[in-house]
Amino acid sequence: MKRVLIVDDHEIIRRGIKSLLANSPYTVCGEAGDGLEAIDRVTELTPDLVLLDISMPRMTGIETLRRIRLIAPATKVILFTMHSPESVRSAGADAVVSKQASSTSLIATMEQVLGDSTSPPASAAPDSPVS
């Protein structure tokens, strides 16, 4: 089972994603509320994938992504954001998913990034909000 770290400064978002993943082939190995905490969790938990918000206190998601690449280059990172996926595509993430995307789009993107799907990787377009 692939291990996922959820990083978002809003607890309700973390809970929603955790609930969504409860019936998936992924396990949530941890959560973090900001970038500094995320770096500690990546080092401690060695997740396969980090779902990473961009706008957070203490350290932005972009800076957090850069540090994750240094300390855990094999860890996949999906930026999960309210920003336009096109505006952050060059940040170096494996994929970008809008928080307006459907929950099935988020799972499909996770599958693609982790190699659990035969579909080519693509950023999820906004469909409906993630529950």
Q: How many domains does the chain have?
A: 1
Is the residue at 129 inside a domain? no
What is the structure's pLDDT at 122? 44
Whether the predicted pLDDT of 29 surpasses 70: yes
Identify whether 64 is part of a domain: yes
Determine which of 3-12, 41-50, 73-82, 109-118 has the lowest per-residue pLDDT on average: 109-118
Query: pTM to 2 decimals?
Result: 0.85
- Domain assignment of residue 121, yes or no: no
- β-sheet bridge partners, residue 3: 27
Residue 38 domain-assigned?
Answer: yes
Mean pLDDT confidence for 49-73: 94
Cβ-proximal residues to 6 (8 Å cutoff; 6+ apart), any chain: 14, 17, 18, 28, 30, 31, 32, 51
Q: Considering the domain boundaries, does residue 70 fall inside one?
A: yes
- Residue ranges making up the domain that contains 84: 2-114
At 110, the pLDDT band (50, 70, 90 cuts) reads very high
Q: Of 26-35, 36-45, 62-71, 122-131, which gets the smallest average pLDDT? A: 122-131
